[in-house]
Amino acid sequence: MPTSFRRRAIAALGLAVLFVLPFPLLSETKPAEPLVMQVAKRGNPKNQTTIETANYTVTFSEQGAQITAFKLKDKAYPPRDGSNIVIPGTESFLAPYLGATGTSQYVSGNLAAIMYAAFTFEKTENSDVIQLTAKAPVVFEVGKTKYNATFVKEFVFLKNAPYFKFSFEIDSNSLLKLQNLMLYALPMIGPLPENTNSTFRDYHHYSHAEKFELAYAGGGGGFGCGSSTAAEKIVTGPVDFFGSSSRFLVLNMQPLFQTRSTSITPEHRNPETKELLQTQALHLNMGDVVVQKNKPARFEFIAYMGPKVEANLHPSDDARRVMPDLAKFHKNLYKSFDFGITEPIRDILVWALNLLYKVIPNYGVGIILIALILKLIFFPLNQKQAESMKRMGELQPKMKEINERYKNNPQEKQRRIMEMYKTHKVNPVSGCLPMLIQLPIFIALYSAFSDAYDLWKSPFIPGWITDLSQPDLVGHLPAGIPLIGGFAIHLLPIVMTLTQFYQSKLTPTSGDANQQKIMLFMPFMMLFLFYAMPSGVVLYWTVQNMLSIVQQVYTNRKKKVADAKA
């Protein structure tokens, strides 16, 4: 067959194929870009599936394949066993949705669709893991054209370690481009503070390019560093890890792929009733995702949920054997605990507290012993401070005389005062130095005795101080009393205030009469500050006051003996 004839035959066949085959096949090279997502059926929240590991019990709802209960298991301390980490009404949805529509109603509708869609579950397990797979059919729309797809959520829990892996897939029989695919990742977690007046705040955290940030719910972070806003906050760039935290527990998640941005949506309350309408939440933007025909787009995360215990952020060799991706946990995960700049000192104190607990299984006794040990360690410094203040008090008559004699000559007055200090070998700054040296330890003590997981639900004196992480409670004022009816009565802060007041009376002070009155009034300001504090913190401060009283009595008697001999 001549070459020219073969060429003409091939060209003719090509034209025939071009005109015979249906045109829609040509459009398959260009993905559809849906803006709307719908689901076939709304799930029933009463239909639930539960899995159990050595570390927690997790309950899933058919509706949205959401986690409705995440209950902690703590065999070492039964009062914490069974505590639910999920705040009712703020379930962990982990819901993917279409975000870039240009119309807010589509965004809201797309998110609501998958949050409440009906999922079917399949559970499998072996000796190491429990796997739960949930599937829901969805329909993407471009104008009047509909494209069928399936959302698949997969949870893999280690049976003997507090880690899990979360994945979701989007499977379709059509070529799709999902612009700015979002994941409604995490609301706040619990448990909620038992004391409604608690100053402790829950927060979200996230790390971008090694820069760690916090976002507190409701507009305050106590002693922490963070912020919240009335508007949505968006941080562009891939996220290293993200999570949600309460006082004692944390949920950390780390994507095994690059994200586009992270946003924090604020909480909303009824302006009149202050009722919480929408909790603060964290959303991930995963960018523009192309779903190939019959080739699922898959996204994976590794996660830790549990106590704020540093050792738990380092999976064991056995856990990494079962789930090798755990070796990728970010080195800065410990920052999510938000223990502040004094964290190394705080960790030593908690370690000492647990060591004492092994000898005497009562954390209240451990706090008393730590107060005593620290008092002995700092006795030389505190003694120097007490003696300096004693000498400064004795110099008050001479100080008053100099102030009156040279009140119109500031330079001479200052010279005379310095000369008096030199003659009597008194350094006014030396009284402040011990306090400055101990300040970092005081800050670390506050963290150690207020948000340590070990103190959560730990009693000291049955019937009075039943939880060292909460204020003690002896009763409430009668509800019928105007303005203060039902006010909680905390006895320990009152004891602390009285001991501090007595200590102030014993301690000589420098300055005029007004300054002395301010010093005597200071304990009552402390009562205001410490009234709703955890009883562990107040217990430590009360014991310190008592030990300071003993030290001041010793100092005063020692001075009297020295004066008598002179």
pLDDT at residue 199 in the model = 59
**278 and 367 assigned to the same domain:** no
pLDDT at residue 226 in the model = 46
**432 and 540 assigned to the same domain:** yes
> Which of 338, 359, 381 is at the close of a domain?
338
Q: Are 154 and 132 in contact (CB under 8 A)?
A: yes
Q: Number of structural domains, the chain?
A: 2
pLDDT at residue 208 in the model = 92
Residue 129: give its domain's CATH number.
2.70.98.90
**220 and 105 assigned to the same domain:** yes
pLDDT at residue 428 in the model = 67
Q: Which residues contact 132 (CB under 8 A, 6 or more apart)?
A: 49, 51, 60, 121, 122, 123, 154, 155, 157
**382 and 270 assigned to the same domain:** no
**62 and 180 assigned to the same domain:** yes
Which residues span the domain enclosing 187?
36-338
pLDDT at residue 102 in the model = 43
15: in domain: no
6: in domain: no
186: in domain: yes
98: in domain: yes
Q: Which of 353, 547, 311 is nearest to 468 (CA)?
A: 353
pLDDT at residue 508 in the model = 64
* Cα–Cα distance for residue pair 181/286, rounded to 1 Å: 5
**288 and 361 assigned to the same domain:** no
**328 and 456 assigned to the same domain:** no
**305 and 352 assigned to the same domain:** no
157: in domain: yes
Q: What is residue 129's three-state secondary structure?
A: strand
C-beta neighbour count of 516 within 10 angstroms: 16
**311 and 446 assigned to the same domain:** no
**304 and 369 assigned to the same domain:** no
Type and span of the H or E element at 416: helix 410-423
403: in domain: no
**554 and 449 assigned to the same domain:** yes
**275 and 371 assigned to the same domain:** no
Burial 179-195 (b: 16+ CB within 10 A, else e): ebbbbbbbbbbbbebeb
12: in domain: no
Q: Which residues of the chain have pLDDT under 70?
A: 1-28, 100-108, 194-200, 218-230, 386, 390, 428-435, 508-517, 566
Characterise 468 by phi-psi region: left (phi > 0), alpha (psi -120 to 50), beta (else): alpha
Q: Are 333 and 239 in contact (CB under 8 A)?
A: no
> Which of 338, 357, 385 is at the close of a domain?
338
1: in domain: no
Orientation angle between helical segments 363-377 and 379-394, nearest 10 degrees? 60
- Is the pTM above the cut of 0.95? no
Find the length of the chain: 566
pLDDT at residue 434 in the model = 65
pLDDT at residue 16 in the model = 46
Pull the structure tokens for residue 501.
């007041």
> Which of 309, 338, 367 is at the close of a domain?
338
* Cα–Cα distance for residue pair 189/528, rounded to 1 Å: 29
Residue showing tokens 């998110």: 111
Q: Which of 499, 503, 504 is nearest to 519 (CA)?
A: 504
Q: Which of 527, 528, 542, 523 is nearest to 465 (CA)?
A: 542
